[in-house]
Each structure stands twice: as structure tokens, then as C-alpha cells.
A and B are shown apart, each in its own frame.
Chain A
Amino acid sequence: MSVASVPFSFSRLSLIAGNTFLEAVRQKLFNFLLLLAIGLVASAQFFREFNFGSSELKFISDFGFGALIFFGSALTIATTAQLFFSEIENRTALTLLAKPLWRAEFVFGKFLGVFAVIGVFCALTIGLMMALLWHREGQLMGARPEDFANGRLIAYGDLLVVGVLQWLKFGVLAAIVLLIASFSNTNLFTVVTGFFVLVICHLQYLARDAWGNVDNAVLGLVVRALGFIFPNFQLFNLADQIGQGSGVSSVVALQVAGYAVAYIGVIGGLAVYSFRNREI
């Protein structure tokens, strides 16, 4: 019997994403981590070094990015796992997936909802950090104009670019957590495994460096494979280049962004494949 097909719908996908976003921002965890991160960024001006000059601004910037990376990673892992398993454990997924809805729409909808939540988190944290830097830099320009003969030292555009790259990195992490959740039975397993993978992704460059020193061909192949399987999160750490004179190269930024999008696509596809066969 021939029946009209149900095409993949971005409208349904955005509905799932919107609902996921709404659920996330109503959770205490999101608000708690957001307040903590904002508080930490804001407190940077009280912990700054007391030698006036650009190093103080660098300190505020590093402190801000540190808060963003730490709380952003925790928020990404916890929120992605929580929002996925709340649908399974509360059985709202039963009602939803009994509708004419592709599982791919469900998985990518969840991803986009989480990605939007992290986007809000990153925007607020980076926005606050930039406002603090702008304010402090203005004060320093008045107190020590000789240090700012060529205008402001901080490249605020670069800060924004690095913030966006961090957001994309969290997107890769969210896709990884979704992949784990797609076959995992518990929230706890997903969160713990997510943190392990986060550590591996931050340290995997060591494996890449190591393959040149491995004599065993098989071992070398394994190390090389692991280096490709786990995304290299060190690539996203461009914050150090800010204030170094060179700035952030737009070519490098685009390459890193493309790297993130490619990983999100592939890992998201694997999550859909895994979830397609999951028994609800």
C-alpha cells in the first residue's frame, strides 16, 4: 500500500529544541551554574594582580575564560544528560515518539535545545567579562595613558570569536554526551562517561604527539585512530593569543569552527543511528 511519506521537518525539530530549551532554563541546575559562573567572572576584578597595566587585563580575561570553560563543561554534560533522560524516565518520550516524528528530529532537536542553552550561558559569561574588561581598561587608560598610546589593548572582537569557538566546543561535547545517552541506561553513567571523554579530548593531543615515537605499527595505528576518534579540544584554546599582538587569525578561527561542525555532524549522526534502534 502506498502512503505519503513523512519528510524530515525542521519545524518539528525546532519545536523539540524550543521545548528542550524551555525545560532547561526552568531547571535549578542551569540557573545555579549560570549564577556561579557570572559571580566568578565578576569577582575577577577583586582577585586581580595589583600591578597596573595590561597584565591585569590579561588576568581578568584568563579568569573569565577559566570560569566559562569549567562551568560550561559541567553545564553541557549535566544538562545534556539530564534533558535526555528526563524524557526517557518521565516517559514523555513515549508520547512524543508515538507521533509522526523521526527519531533524528528528536535527537537533533534535543541537541539544538541544549546548544541554545549553552549559547545563552556563553553569551552572558562572555558579555559580562567584556563589560568588566572594557570598564577596567577605561580606568587604566585614564590612570596610565602612556601604556595605551595606541588605543585599547584588548581586541574585543577576538574575545567574541574565542567565545563563539568555546560555544562550538561545548556543542561537540553535547553531541558526545548525546551519543553516550543514546545507548546508556542511566543518567549517572552518561555523566561520568561524559567527564572522562572531556578529559580525553583535552589530553588527546598527547596521543597525537606520541604516535611519532611509537615503533610498533599496530600501536601507532591505534594511537592515530584514537587521535581522530576523540576531537582535540586544545584546538579551541585560542584565548592565549589575545593580547599577544598577533590576535586570533580569522582563517584559524574558521578552520576550528569547521572542525567543530564536522565533529558535531558525525557524532550527532552516530547518536541518531544508535537511538534509532533503542527500545523505548
Chain B
Amino acid sequence: MSQPVSAISIQGLTKDFSVTLRGVKLRAVDALNLEVSEGQVYGLLGPNGSGKSTTIKIILGLLDATVGDVRVFGVPANRVEARRNVGYLPEAPYFYRYLSGRELVKFYARVCGVSGTKLKSRVDEVIDWVGLSGAADRRVGTYSKGMLQRIGLAQALVHDPKLIVLDEPTAGVDPVGSAEMCELIRKLKHQGKTVLITSHLLAQIEDVCDRVAILDRGKLIVEGSVLELVGQRDRQALIVDPLPEADLEALRGWLAARGHSLNAVEQPRARLDQLFLSKVSRPGRPGGASAGVGSNEVPLDAKP
């Protein structure tokens, strides 16, 4: 029986750029190994200049590796065939301003080989999916940043790729737009898509990613599931109604009698972005409702 193929497989990837005419090299990625399984939402993190975008460009065949092997669903990344199953949303996307949103998505769909009767239905479907049906016939030049990200996602999805690469999808977007992008990423995961995402907004990455890798100066520093990396397996949090001091003392005693200790008593807090989203109206969804965020109440962050 054959081994399951990784969505992305990176083995010993090194990328050098010549920075002077004398051939002085800058190492952007240094001996990187990564495996992204199908169906995962994988976060690629790191400070500016850590090699995230270079790695993504190599995965997309826009750059060649100096050393190493990069494959997308088993196909070498520098081959055109590898990009058949890949959708890409670049950082701060800029599209042809003179086209309408619908014309733009249609253009990219045709470039990807979507044609015939499927073309119109697929274009309408993805535009509706990203919530831009009402603005689809407006020129892209009139779109807000959040709308540009969403039309960018639509063009990335129009040929129904198995892998979606999102480079800083929430950069420069307001919290409402960011939350909507995160919702769309969750939906993609539910559809079984593999998503590779880079972001500086670590809280968002934590919310949507199954696994993360942290790069620094081109090297892989940490890699693992979000739960493994940030979960505290030796601790537990219990969220209860407010307890009077006497009951709290009794609870301490009860725990001590069983060999445990009460390490912290804190007031749970809502996250500021969740408060923001519950108060600010969202385009097409007055009242600020969305999946996972109540329309009128601020959900509590379960983390102590």
C-alpha cells in the first residue's frame, strides 16, 4: 500500500540570494524540513526576514530552491503541474483595478482552465462564498482592503484547489475583516482543504491552525501542533460562578487534602477583538453576528 502523499513536503530547503555583484550571498532559508499533511491548517510564523515569504514563493514555483527538494502533492514545486491544485492569496494583493470583481475572478478561472457552463456557476459560487455578491460588478479599484482580501480569496479558490496558500491574509485589515477571513479559513478546513497561512497576528493563527512552524533567520526553530506548543498539560482551569472568600478557603482546603493546590484565582476576561466584533456592525450582517461570536454578548475566553 502506498504512503499517503503530503500536501507540502520540504526537504533540506536552502535558498541563497546574491546581494552584490561580487557574489556575496544572503541565506534566506537554511536547511528547512517541513511536512504539511492534507486537510491541515498550517501556520508559518516568524519575524520579518525570517524566510516565510521566500518559502511560500518556492512552494509556488515563483523562486527556485538553491538546494533541497520541495514538492506539492508529490510533484516538484517548480513544475507547472504542481500549481494545478494550489490557490494563492498574496500579501496585500493588488489586482487589475479596471476589472470588476466578477470579471477578475472569471479571468483567473479561465487562466486555471475553468470553462464552459462550469465557468459562470463556479465564479458566482466563490463570489457568494466570500460574501461579495453585492459588490461583484463594482470595479476592483473601488474595493476596501477587506474586500480586496476576499476577492483575492475568491480568485484563489475558483479552480477548487486542494491547497490554499495565504500570505498574511489579515495584514492591514480591520478586526471585522480579520475575523471574517478566519471564519472563511475554518470553513475551508471543514471542506477538507489544506491551508498554509503566514501571519504576524499570532492570536489568529492560534485560533485557526492545527500545526505551526516558527522560522527565524531562515531556520526552523519550533514545529508542532498548537495544543502541544502552547497547551499546559499539567494544569487545568475551572470556570465557576463568583465564590465568597469562605467558600474559596474551603475549596483550597479540599484540594490540599487531596494533594492539589489552587494556583491562581482570576477574573476571566473577554478578548478585546471579541468585544470589538460584538459591538461593531459587520457588512451584510448588522448587529455583529458571526459564527463563534455571539451577537449580543461577549463570549468568555476559556483560557485562564
Residues in A lying within 8 Å of B, measured CB to CB: 1, 3-6, 9, 11-12, 15-16, 19, 22-23, 26, 90-92, 94-102, 277, 279-280
Contacts and interface: CB of A to CB of B under 8 A. Distances in A.
A280 B113 contact: no
B26 interface: no
Interface stretch (B42-50, B73-81, B168-176, B202-210): B73-81
A16 B96 CA distance: 12
Contacts of B107: 15, 19
Interface in B166-219: none
Interface string B280-291: 000000000000
A231 to B, nearest CB: 30
A279 to B, nearest CB: 5
B60 interface: yes
B171 to A, nearest CB: 13
Contacts of B113: 9, 12, 100
Q: Chain A interface secondary structure, helix, strand, loop or mixed?
A: loop
A3 B108 contact: no
Interface in B111-162: 111-113, 115, 152, 155
Contact of A3 (B17, B81, B111): B81
Please tell me the size bucket of the interface on B. 20 to 34
Nearest to B112: A99
A273 to B, nearest CB: 15
19 contacts: A3-B74, A6-B84, A12-B110, A16-B111, A23-B98, A91-B90, A91-B93, A92-B95, A92-B96, A94-B90, A95-B95, A97-B62, A98-B61, A98-B165, A99-B83, A100-B111, A100-B112, A279-B62, A279-B63
Contacts of B108: 95-96, 99
Given A95-B108, A100-B81, A100-B83, A22 B63 contact: no
B52 to A, nearest CB: 15
Contact of B63 (A5, A99, A102, A280): A280
A15 B96 contact: no
Contacts of B17: 279
Interface in B53-111: 57, 60-64, 74-75, 80-81, 83-84, 86, 88, 90, 93-96, 98, 107-108, 110-111
A101 B80 contact: yes
B109 to A, nearest CB: 10
A10 to B, nearest CB: 13
B94 A98 contact: no
A99 B108 CA distance: 8
Contact of B93 (A4, A95, A99, A279): A95
B90 A95 contact: yes
Contact of B111 (A4, A22, A101, A280): A101
A98 B81 contact: no
A102 B57 CA distance: 16
B86 A98 contact: yes
Contacts of B60: 97-98
A219 B46 CA distance: 57
A100 B88 CA distance: 11
A15 B111 contact: yes
Given A97-B62, A100-B81, A1 B74 contact: yes
Q: Which 9 A-B pairs give the minimum distances between C-beta atoms?
A: A1-B74, A98-B88, A98-B60, A280-B62, A6-B80, A100-B84, A100-B83, A90-B94, A3-B81
B196 to A, nearest CB: 12
Contacts of B88: 94-95, 98
Contacts of B165: 98
B275 interface: no
Contacts of A6: 80-81, 84
A10 B108 CA distance: 15
B80 to A, nearest CB: 5
A177 B107 CA distance: 26
A98 B62 contact: yes
B34 interface: no
B5 interface: yes
B81 A99 contact: no
A23 B75 CA distance: 34
Nearest to A280: B62
A90 B148 CA distance: 14
Nearest to A14: B110
Contacts of B110: 11-12, 15
A12 B110 CA distance: 7
